[in-house]
Amino acid sequence: MYLHELERGAAQLNQTWATIGKLRLLRSTLALADSAQRDWLLSGEPQHLDAVRAHLATFDDTLVQANVLLKGRPEQATNLAALARTAAAKR
């Protein structure tokens, strides 16, 4: 029984670290999209707009992955949903 508890704890810890990794990726991807958008607004060069679109696509994919990791954690899933709504409103 003790070994089973350790394995379950290790699995939960791994899921926590995976979630943290996805949240960090969401944050950095939004920062990159914001920077690319500023570059596009200042320069008008289309490659910057392409970068914005690519970063937002990465954000969307990562958001889906983070939602999967947060199943069974309703409070955290609610916070992630709020982030998704805020990001969608700024598009």
Are 30 and 87 within 8 A, CB to CB?
yes
Residues 6+ apart with CB under 8 A from 28: none
What whole-number percentage of the chain has pLDDT above 90?
82
For 60-77, the pLDDT digits (tens) are: 999 999 999 999 899 999
Rounded average pLDDT over 42-55: 94
pLDDT of residue 1: 65
pTM for this entry: 0.83
